[in-house]
Structure 1
Amino acid sequence: MRKRGYLTLGAVVLCGALLAGCGSSSSSDGVSSDSGKVAAPAAGGAEPALGEGQAADSTAQGGKDTTAEAPDLRVDQRSIIYTGTITVQVKDVNAAAARITGITSGAGGFIGGDDRQSGAGGADTATMKLRIPATKFDAALKQIGELGEEQSRAINTEDVTEEVVDLDARIAVQQARVDSGRRLLGQAKSLNDLVMLEKEVATRESDLASLQAKKRRLADLTALSTVTVVLLGPTAAPPAPADEPSGFLAGLSSGWNALGDSLTVLLTVLGALLPWLIALGLPAAAVFYLRRRYRRGHPDKELPAPPAEAPATP
């Protein structure tokens, strides 16, 4: 009985110890799970704050880049090429041309071309090409039109703002490439590297010079407008507008003109060769004729002699 009591007491103590161990492990698991739940919101709260800061930085950087790269596209800042043609009938072509020269000089421009032709009975004409600052373009045309009776006027504009902006960007990039190549050239340590870098830098500088030349050309065309002035005397007829046919008539006209041009070239060649044909052909024909006549009058002389017979052998 005592042994059974001891066994029962030992079993009770063992079960109590096992239950206590399970309770402690479960409590520790609960504490760890609770701590995980508490740490998660903190981590979650830190991430939104960091995300907002990054978004703010990216927004600020994006706004800065956009402001730096965006070109000024206002009307007064655009690059526009102005070209115009005006025809005026005046009493004295030379006097009007002199006044146009004064108008151009007063506007800060210059005469790019002056072609004058004299005609009988007041049929003089003059064609002048003017380069006038774009800001004085309209005022100069108005003054030229008031010199006489204006016959016609045509004004064309070409907006090259996008080309200018593109050229500026390409020049900036190419300039950076040239500077980088020059720095590498200064750091070259071998002859092969030096030769290769010199060739690369020369190529980059050539491309940069080409882009800069295009930029200067556009700058010249936008800064100075081109005006073509046609001056007509009192009796000079205005130039007729070109009326070019199209379709079948255009093809027929082109073919006929080509045929006429070909015949003209052929006749020109024959005319150049005819004196040589006469100088050389007539003596050659006379020699040929006399030779044939001589052969007919002396047929025996033309026959070959018969071969000699060989002597008979004994």
Structure 2
Amino acid sequence: MTLEVFLQNLANGISLGSLYALIAIGYTMVYGILRLINFAHADLLMVAAYVSFYGIMVFALPWWLSFLIAIVFTALLGVSIEKIAYRPLRSAPRISVLISAIGVSFLLENLGIVAIGARPKSFPRPEEMVWNIKIGDVSFLSLTVIIPVVTMVLLVAVTYMVNKTKTGTAMRAVSRDFETASLMAIDVNKVVSTTFVVGSSLAAVGGIMWSLQYPQIDPLMGVFPGLKCFIAAVMGGIGSIPGAMLGGFILGMGEVFLVAFMPELSGYRDAFAFVILIFILLFKPTGILGENVVEKV
């Protein structure tokens, strides 16, 4: 492999890893608070992509306004899902909430198929965001740089919020002991809603970035990215924001270089993520940066 090919694949791996990391952070935030795998998180990507698409193509809104509306709408949808599908089951057995999350995921996917249609649509790429960059013999789209930058900015913002603000302190308290936090004048419902706002907003940004990088959308577009981002979160240590970031980068880089070094295995690219998941669960179930958490019965 020449240096130019290596650098090309490195850029692609960083870009893909950034997408995985961005979406995985939303998974890990919700799990950190509620110990819930929010399977509907992946479908929020699809919702944000379609809101952006119709904002630009049907209502002729500026791309930046369509993206902003999509993020706000997805955040509100995430909070609504929590209030309607998860909050009434908060004291129920854990399996009941998990089944509810799976049900919400199927509901969003099938509503999309019925209301929008299953035929894929081409996502518009704003000229201001997409151009070619050439450095020596290496050329790539501007999105290869924009996506990691956006991911790092949002990671810094989320990390600052969690570690340096009162809301973040409340989130960490609730994640440690739900019942005790509610006895210490912490509005648990508000903390959970805030977590869903942040997580759903990250999913929306991830969905928009994904649609720009791979400009074809359909109602099931979030299924495989969602599974892989969940794997990235588990790999890094679910419940750990830096862990989700690390897991996303490892998974993205691994997929790209697997195809680069062994092109004959390109058909097994998706299987690579699940093989990694199996090894992580066998040898380090808590993930790379995860902590041992005692589950309360």
Q: TM-score under structure 1 normalisation?
A: 0.19
Structure having the higher strand fraction is 1
Q: Which of 1 and 2 has greater Rg?
A: 1
The structure, 1 or 2, with the larger RCO (C-alpha pairs under 8 Å, 6+ apart) is 2
Q: TM-score under structure 2 normalisation?
A: 0.19
